[in-house]
Structure 1
Amino acid sequence: MKVQKFIASNMIEAMKKIRQELGENAVILNSKQISTARMFGLLKKKQIEVIAAVEPQPKMKDVRVKEKRKPLSRTEKKPNVRNQSLTSSVYPADEKELNNQIEELKDMVQKLSEHSSPDEYKYYPIPVQTFLDHLRKQGINGMIMGEINAKLLNDWRSENREKTEQEVYQSGFQHLKELLAGVEYGGSQFQKKFINLVGPTGVGKTTTLAKMAAQAVLEKRKKIAFITTDTYRIAAIEQLKTYSSILNVPVEVVYKREDFQKAIKKFTDYDLVFIDTAGRNYRELQYIEELKKVIDFSQDIETFLTLSLTMKEGDLADIIQSFDDIKVDQFIFTKLDETATYGSMINLIFRNRIGVAYVTDGQDVPDDIQKASAETIVKRLLKGLGV
C-alpha cells in the first residue's frame, strides 16, 4: 500500500493533489489543520495536512512469474487447480490480510461520510456538507461553490468549537449576500419616462408590465400610457388593451420606428410610458436588430430584461449575451412559483453583474410581484434550510 502526505490550503486543493498523485481509488486515512511558518517564523499560515493511501493494483502475469512454488512432499497431494480460486493461488497470505484491512478502512470512511455529497466536500463537517449539498442541488455553479466552500471552512476553523447547523447556515447566508453585492436591486424608481420590458416568448412580459403599471397608478399616482410593439400576436395586444381599460389608460400599437415616434409625441404630457415588446427567440441576433429598428433606445428609457426561471440556465445565458448591444438596467425573474430551484438567479447576477428589479410568482395583477433584493433572493435559495 502506498501512503503519502499532502499539504494544501484547503480540502478541495488537497483532493485534487491526491487524485493527481494516487488516482481515483485513493482513501483518506487522516486529516488535520496545521500552521506553517512564513517570514522567518514570525507569521503563520493555516493549512490542511492529509494522509492518503492507495492499494496497488497487481499485474496478474507478473505475480505468477514471481511466485515460487514449494516442492511437494511425498505425503502432500497435488492441489486441485480447477477448484482453487484465483485470489488464493496468486496472493500471498500477508497481502490478503493487508487487503482485508484496506477494505475495513474503506467501510469506516464510508460510514463517516453517509451524506451523499461530492468528493470535494464529503469529508467536511456535517453542517458544512449539508449547506454545500443544498447549494449544489439548487444549481449553484462551481465558481460560487468554491467561494462559499472556502469561506465556510475558514469560519469553522476560526473558532475552537463546533458550530451548530444554524450558525453555519447563517454564515453561508451572509457570504452569499456579499457575493451579490455591488449591483442595483429594487423596483423601478420611475425616474425615467419610458419603462421598457424585453425578453423571449412566454416569460410573462405583458402580465409583468401590467403589474408594474398598476403600482405606478395606484401607489405612485402617476399618469401613464402603454405602447406595444408586439404585433405578432393578436392575443398579446388584446391582453394589454384589457389592462389599459381596467386602469383607464391609453395604449398605442406601433409597427415601425415612425409609429414609435408618433406615440412618443402623443404621450408628451404623461409621466410614464410602459413599452411591451414582442416575445421572440432572442438568441437569434436578427430579432435584436428588429427590436432596435422599432424602439428608439436613445430616449430617456429604462430597460428590464425579463427572464423565466423555468428556462434552462444555458439558454438564459445565451439570451443575456444577445443583448450586449442594448443597455439592460436590471433583470426581472418570473415564474418563481413554477420551479423549486433558484440557483440560476444567483449565477446570472454574479456572472453578469446586473441586479434584479422584481421577481414574480403568479398571475394576479398587481399582487404577484415583489421588489427584489440580495437578501430576498438568497432567502428564496435557502428556503429549504429554514434560513
Structure 2
Amino acid sequence: MQVRKFEARTMKDALEMVKHELGPDAVILAAKDNSKRFGISGGTSVEVTAAVSEGTLRKKQFAEQKLNQRDREVFSRSPVRSQRDFIDRVVNKHVSEQPRQVTQMRYADILEDEQRQLQQRELQDRQVRPEPSGHYGQMGRKIPRVNIEEVEELQRQAAWNAVQAKAQSRPAQLAEVSKAAPQIENSSEDAEQMALQAKNKAQSEELSALKQEIAGLKELISEFKKMPQSFVALHPGANEGIPYDLSAVYEDLRNTGINRQNTLNIMNAVQENLPKEQWKKPSLVKAWVAKYLMERIQVVNDPYQGKYHVFVGPESQGKTTSLIKMASHLVLKEKKRVAIVSLDTKKAGAKEQLKTFAQILNVPFAVVRRRDHWATLDQKLAGVDVILIDAPGLALKTTSELDTLKQLLPPVEYGRRIHYTQSVLSRDDQAFEAARRYQSLGFHDVIITNLDESVQHGLIYNFQSEFGVPLHSFGVGSRIPEDFEPASKERVIDLLFRLTQVRKEKLG
C-alpha cells in the first residue's frame, strides 16, 4: 500500500492530483485546511492524505502504458468512473488473453478435500439432536409413533425367528458383530479427529495470514511516521527543495525562460532575505525578485561611446539588421555623421545589401579586405562621428577562422567597441557555446534581437549571468529605426514578468 500527501490551493485541485497520481480507486485517509492564509485574495491551502494498494496502482500504471502521450492527457482529465471502466477493460482483456488453467489445485489436494467433506457430512449425520419428547434415534432420524400392541407382536415374532435359527451360526454372527463394533467406533473417532485437525489447521493459517497483514500495516505506519510532515509532493520546485508557498513564483521564473540554476539562486536569495510570513503573498515575492534582478542586470550607460563599433556573431542572429537599425537611429534621431564598413567579402549579397542602405541614408560606405586598409580609411573618414563595421558571420570552429577575423578588425588603439549579437530565440546551450568561441575577441557587450518573436526572454538574464557583459540594445521588430531600443533594466523586468502584456489584457 502506498500513502501519499498532496497539497493544493483548493480541494478540487488536490483531488485531481490524487486521481492523477494514484488513480480513481485511491482512498482519502485525511483532509485538512491550513490555518494560515496566503495570497492577495486570502485563499487557503488544502492538504489531503490518500492511499492505494500496490495491486490497484499497478493496474492503473499498466493501463496507462497502453496509451500514447496525447491519450494519457485525455485519460488524466476523464471522470473517475470513465477511468475505472477503462482500467477494468484493459486488465480484463489482458487476463482473457492469458492461457486458462484447468484448476489451481493439485489432484491430491482435491481428493483430500472431497474425503474431508464426506467425513464432515458423516459426522453431522451421526450427531444426536435430541428433542424434548425423546423421539430421535442414535442417527438423528425421527422414530415414528406406533401402538404398544403392534410393538409386542413384533417382539414375539422376532423371538420365534430367533429360536428357529441354527445354534452354530448364532455365535459366529455375534462374534462378527462384536468385532465390527469397535472398528466402527474407532473409524468414527478418527474422522472426528481428522476434521478437528483440518479445522484447526485452517484457523491457524488464517490467523497467520492475519498476523502478517497486521505486521505489514504496522511497518507501513512506522515508515510513514518517519517521513517529514512538512513534505509536500508535486508542487513546482518540490524536488529542488522549494517550499510550497514559493512554488508559484518559481514556476513563473522557469516559464519565462530563466534556467534552473539561476532560478534556484534567486529562490535561495528569497528564502534568506525575505521574512517567511511574506512567502504566502506572491505579489510581494515577485516585487522582491524584481528588485533583486534590477540590482544584478547590467546595461551600457552610453551605447554610442567611441568611434568604431564592430558587430560580430554567428549567422542568423540579426547582426547586419542591428547595424542598419543603429545607423538609422544615429542618422535620423541622434543627427550623427555615420559611415558603414563591411568586412564580409565571402557571403553573397552581404556588401551589396549594406551599400544599398548606405545610399538610402546618404552615408559613406567602404569594404575592408586587409588590416592595413584601416589607416587609409581612418584618414578619409576623419570627419565622421561613428563608423559601424559589419563583421562576417563565422562559426569560429577552427583556428584559421578566428585568426582571419582578428586580422580584419580595426586596431585596438582606435578605441573600437565590439558588440556581440544574440537572438533570444536560441537555446541556452547553443547560445553559450557560440559566444564562448567569440570570447577571445573580447566583446564588450551584447545586443539581444528578435524580442518580438519570442514569449520567453529568460535568455537575456541567463546570458548576462554566464558571461558578465552588459546589455547594449534590443531589436524588437522589423521596422527601421523604430524597433531599435537602447537596453534598460526596466525593459528587462517588463519582459521577464510580462508587465505590459498583463496591463494590456486588463485594459482590454
Letter in 2 for 1:176: L
Structure 2 match to 1:152: 270
Compared CA separation, residues 148 and 122, structure 1 to 2 (3 A): closer
Is 1:321 paired with 2:436? yes
Corresponding position: 1:174 with 2:295: no
Q: Structure 2 length normalisation: TM-score?
A: 0.54
Q: Is the alpha carbon distance of 1:162 and 1:230 closer, same or farther for their aligned partners in structure 2, counting shifts above 3 Å?
A: closer
The yes-or-no answer on 1:132 pairing with 2:250 is yes
Within 5 A, what are the aligned runs for 1:229-268?
Answer: 229-268=343-382
Partner of residue 68, structure 1: none
Alignment equivalent of 2:243, drawn from 123, 140, 144: 123
Q: Give the deviation of 1:260 after TM superposition.
A: 3.7
The alpha-carbon distance between structure 1 residues 117 and 88, as it changes in their structure 2 partners (threshold 3 A), is farther
User: Is residue 186–residue 371 contact of structure 1 (8 Å, CA) maintained in 2?
Assistant: no
Residue 359 in 1 paired to residue 486 in 2? no
Helix, strand or coil at the partner of 1:196: strand
Give the AA of the match of 1:350. Answer: S
Structure 1 residue 347: Cα displacement: 1.6
Runs (4+) of structure 1 exceeding 4 A deviation are 87-90, 100-106, 160-163, 384-387
Is the counterpart of residue 209 in structure 1 residue 326 in structure 2?
A: no
Hey, what does 1:275 align to over in structure 2? Answer: 389
Question: Is 1:334 the equivalent of 2:418?
Answer: no
How far apart are the structure 2 equivalents of 1:140 and 1:280? 27
Number of residue equivalences: 304
Please give the per-residue CA displacement for 1:251-308, whole angstroms capped at 9, x wherever unaligned: 1122222334433332122111110111111344432211111122322211101111
Question: Residue type of the partner of 2:262?
Answer: I
Q: Which amino acid aligns with 2:253?
A: L
- Which position in structure 1 is the counterpart of 2:458? 343
Tell me what 1:192 maps to. 306
Letter of the structure 2 residue corresponding to residue 123 of structure 1 = P
1:305 aligns to what SS in structure 2?
A: strand
Give yes or no for contact 2:331–2:337 (8 Å, CA) kept in 1: yes
Q: Provide the C-alpha distance between the structure 2 equivalents of 1:156 and 1:259, rounded to a whole number of angstroms.
A: 58
- The answer to whether the Cα contact below 8 Å between 2:236 and 2:250 also exists between their aligned partners in 1 is no
Query: Which has the larger helix fraction?
Result: 2
Distance 1:373 1:284, change over 3 A: farther
Distance 1:88 1:374 in 2: 69
- Amino acid in structure 1 at the alignment position of 2:490: E
Q: Please name the residue that 1:75 is paired with.
A: 199
8 A contact 1:209–1:274 mirrored in 2: yes
Give, as a single letter, the amino acid of the residue that structure 2 aligns with 1:302: R
Residue 186 of structure 1 deviates from its aligned partner by 4.9
User: Residue 249 of structure 1: SS of its match in structure 2?
Assistant: coil
Check conservation: 1:285, 1:322, Cα contact below 8 A. Answer: no
Considering fraction of residues, name the structure with more strand. 1
CA deviations 1:141-198 (Å, max 9, x no partner) are 444323321232245436x566522111111111122232xx443561x331111111
Q: CA deviation at 1:99?
A: 2.9
Counterparts of 1:152 and 1:191, CA distance in 2: 37
Alpha-carbon contact 2:370-2:407 (below 8 Å) kept: yes
Alpha-carbon distance, 1:313 to partner? 1.6
Distance 1:142 1:283, change over 3 A: farther
Contact 1:177–1:378, Cα closer than 8 Å, also in 2: yes
Pair member with larger Rg = 2
| CA gap 1:341/1:187 in 2 versus in 1, 3 angstroms | farther
For structure 2, the 5+ residue unaligned runs are 1-195, 504-508
**Superposed CA RMSD:** 3.3
Instruction: Report the Cα offset of residue 233 of structure 1.
Output: 1.8
Residues 122 and 229 of structure 1: CA distance in aligned 2, closer, same or farther (over 3 Å): same
Aligned to 1:60: none
Letter of the 2:296 counterpart: L
TM-score of the two chains, using structure 1 as the length reference: 0.69
The reply on whether 1:305 has 2:425 as its aligned counterpart is no
Paired with 1:353 and 1:375, the residues of 2 have a C-alpha distance of 18
Q: How far apart, in 2, do the equivalents of 1:89 and 1:284 lie?
A: 74
User: More displaced, 91-100 or 243-252?
Assistant: 91-100
Q: What whole-Å deviation, never above 9, does each CA across 1:58-114 have from its counterpart, x for those lacking one? A: xxxxxxxxxxxxxx95424549x9xx9xx96894314325537978999x989x656
- The unaligned stretches of length 5 or more in structure 1 are 1-71
Give distance in 2, aligned partners of 1:185 and 1:271.
Answer: 19
3-state SS, counterpart of residue 257 of structure 1: coil
Aligned partner of residue 267 in structure 2, secondary structure: helix
- Identity, in percent, stands at 23
Matched, 1:95 2:216: yes
Equivalent residues in 2 for 1:367-386, closer than 5 Å: 367-383=482-498, 386=502
Whole-Å Cα distance in 2 between the matches of residues 271 and 292 of structure 1?
Answer: 24
Alignment of 1:57-76 (within 5 A): 73-76=197-200
